[in-house]
C-alpha cells in the first residue's frame, strides 16, 4: 500500500546504487523532480531505462549516475541532440555507459511483457535492421502459421518512477493526457514511486484518466511542477523554451555542471 512521504525519503528508501530504474513519461509527465533528487543523493551505477531519455536522463548521465542505459530514442524532441547522452556514449564522460537500444515498439512490448509477468513480448519488428546485431532480440516461430516473429525480453526494473497529476490520501493515483507507458512501467517493476502535482481527497474520474491503485505503488511524494520542463496535462505547460535552451546549456561540460550545481545540487527542495 502506497505511503505518502517526502520525495527525499522516498528516493533514499527505494533507489539504491546499482539498481535498474525506469523513469517513464512519454514527452508528458516526465519525473524530473525525482531525477533531480536521485542526482542530489549521488546515486551511482544505475541501469537507467527509458524509451526516450530526454533531458532527465541527459542530466543524470552527465552527472555520472549510470553505468548502463536502455532506450529507444535519445534525442531532444524537436531540437536535436542530447549532448550529455552523446558525450557519455561517444567519450565515456564522465563515466563510460553501456547501452542497449531498441525500437519504441520493442521497448513498449518489453514493458507490457513485464507488466503481464510474461518472459517475453511478441511483435513484428526489427526486420532487416542492424539493431538485431547489437541488441537483445530473438525470434520465435508461430506454432500455428510457422511465421517468424521478433521476441523481446520482458523488462523488470528494480524501481519504476512516474509523475502524475494527483493522488488521493489512500495513495491511489490518477493521470490523464498522453498516458505513455507509465502503467506498464509501474506494473513491471519490483518497487514504484509516483510523484504527484497534488493530493486530493477523492479522485474524480477524468476523460482519459488512468488509475493506478495504491496497492501497486510503494511511495507517493508530492512534487508540484515536478515534471518541469515537461508538463502535467491541464495543470502545467510544456516549457518548450527550456528544451531549446538546454541545447546550449548542455553543449559544454562546464556549463552543464554549473547549471546542475545551481539548479539541482544547491537547490532548495520545494516539497
Partner 1 sequence: MSTSATAGEVQTIVAARLLAGAPSCFIGVGGPSTAAILARAIVNPDLVLVYESGTIGAKPYRIPLSIGDGELAATADFVVPVVEMFNYWIQPGRIDMAFLGAAQIDREGSLNTTVIGDYDAPKTRLPGAGGAPEIATGCDRVMVVAPHAKRTFVERLDFLTTRAAPEAVITDLGVLAPDPEAGGELALTHIHPGVTVDAVRDATGWELRVAADLRTTEPPTDEELSALRELVAR
**Residue ranges that bind partner 1, judged by CB under 8 A:** 26-28, 51-52, 71-75, 77-79, 81-82, 85-86, 89-90, 101-105, 108-109, 111-112, 115-118, 123-131, 134, 172, 177-181, 183-184, 187, 205, 208, 210-211, 213, 215-216, 231, 233, 237-238, 240, 243-244
Residues of this chain, 169-208, that bind its own copies according to CB under 8 A = 205-208
153 binds, among its own copies, partner 1, none (CB under 5 to 8 A by kind): its own copies
- Copy the grid coordinates of residue 135: 541488441
Kindly state whether residue 209 participates in binding its own copies, applying the rule CB under 8 A: yes
Write the DSSP string, 76-138: ETTTEE-HHHHHHHHH--SS--EEEE--HHHHHHHHHHHHTT-SEEEES--TT-THHHHSS-E
Residue among 260, 233, 195 nearest 42 (CA): 260
268 binds, among partner 1, its own copies, none (CB under 5 to 8 A by kind): none
Binding its own copies (rule: CB under 8 A), the pick from 90, 128, 143, 268 is 143
224 binds, among partner 1, its own copies, none (CB under 5 to 8 A by kind): none
Instruction: Show Cβ contacts of residue 34 under 8 Å, excluding neighbours closer than 6 positions.
Output: 7, 10, 11, 23, 161, 163, 193, 195, 221, 223, 226
Q: What Rg, from alpha-carbon coordinates, does the chain have? A: 18
| 35 vs 180 by CB, closer to partner 1 | 180
151 binds, among its own copies, partner 1, none (CB under 5 to 8 A by kind): its own copies
| Residues binding its own copies: number (CB under 8 A) | 25
195 binds, among partner 1, its own copies, none (CB under 5 to 8 A by kind): none
HSE (side-chain half, CA atoms, 13 Å) at 265: 12
Q: How far apart are CA 167 and CA 179, in angstroms?
A: 16
Q: Which residues bind its own copies (CB under 8 A)?
A: 117-120, 122-124, 136, 138-145, 147, 149, 151, 153, 205-209
Amino acid at each position: 500500500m502506497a505511503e505518502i512521504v517526502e520525495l527525499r525519503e522516498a528516493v533514499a528508501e527505494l533507489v539504491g546504487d546499482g539498481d535498474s530504474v525506469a523513469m517513464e513519461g512519454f514527452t508528458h509527465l516526465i519525473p524530473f523532480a525525482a531525477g533531480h533528487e536521485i542526482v542530489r543523493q549521488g546515486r551511482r551505477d544505475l541501469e537507467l531505462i527509458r524509451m526516450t531519455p530526454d533531458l532527465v536522463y541527459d542530466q543524470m548521465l552527465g552527472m555520472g549516475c549510470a553505468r548502463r542505459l536502455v532506450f529507444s530514442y535519445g534525442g531532444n524532441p524537436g531540437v536535436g541532440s542530447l549532448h550529455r547522452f552523446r558525450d557519455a556514449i561517444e567519450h565515456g564522460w564522465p563515466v563510460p555507459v553501456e547501452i542497449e537500444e531498441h525500437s519504441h515498439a520493442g521497448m513498449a512490448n518489453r514493458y507490457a511483457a513485464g507488466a503481464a509477468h510474461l518472459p517475453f513480448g511478441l511483435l513484428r519488428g526489427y526486420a532487416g535492421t542492424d539493431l538485431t546485431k547489437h541488441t537483445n532480440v530473438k525470434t520465435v516461430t508461430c506454432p500455428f502459421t510457422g511465421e517468424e516473429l521478433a521476441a523481446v525480453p520482458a523488462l523488470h526494473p528494480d524501481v519504476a518512477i512516474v509523475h502524475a497529476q494527483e493522488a488521493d490520501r489512500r495513495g491511489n493515483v490518477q493521470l490523464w493526457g498522453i498516458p505513455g507507458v507509465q502503467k506498464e512501467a509501474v506494473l513491471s517493476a519490483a518497487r514504484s514511486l509516483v510523484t504527484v502535482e497534488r493530493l486530493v481527497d477523492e479522485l474524480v474520474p477524468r476523460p482519459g484518466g488512468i488509475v493506478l491503485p495504491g496497492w501497486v505503488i510503494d511511495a507517493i511524494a508530492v512534487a508540484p511542477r515536478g515534471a518541469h520542463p515537461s508538463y502535467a496535462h491541464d495543470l502545467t505547460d510544456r516549457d518548450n523554451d527550456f528544451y531549446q535552451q538546454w541545447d546550449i546549456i548542455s553543449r559544454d561540460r562546464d556549463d552543464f555542471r554549473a547549471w546542475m550545481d545551481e539548479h539541482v545540487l544547491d537547490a532548495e527542495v520545494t516539497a
